[in-house]
Amino acid sequence: MGKFIITKRKNNEFQFNLKAANGQTILTSEGYTTKASCLNGIESVRKNAPDDTKYERLVSKNNKPYFNLKAANGQVIGTSELYESEAARENGIVSVKKNAHKADIVEELD
């Protein structure tokens, strides 16, 4: 089963990573000033992940496919890693859809 890992950045902002069952990071959040807003971001991922129209499929400057998951208001909730192919990007989206709704939340705040 996947899990959301909450960590603190060097600038003291909170962020989460959604990891698949194999431990690979499939979605990374922006920075949040409070843990409560980070938890709200996780809930937004759970709510929006099943809706394919919420995924923005993009290509980086070095031609690597990736995606953003957006909330209903159009704000980016999370960004994927860079993939080697569009097919791999689609597999990443499938993995977010599969893992987000039932993923545990784990805090790693040291």
Per residue in 15-37, pLDDT (tens digit) is 999 999 999 999 999 999 999 99
Cα–Cα distances in angstroms (integers) from residue 4 to residues 33, 44, 46, 47, 101, in the given order: 18, 12, 11, 14, 10
What pTM was estimated for this model as a whole?
0.93
What's residue 48's pLDDT? 97
What's residue 45's pLDDT? 98
Dig out the tokens for 9 from the structure.
């950045």
Domains of the chain listed by start with CATH number: 3-107 (2.30.29.80)
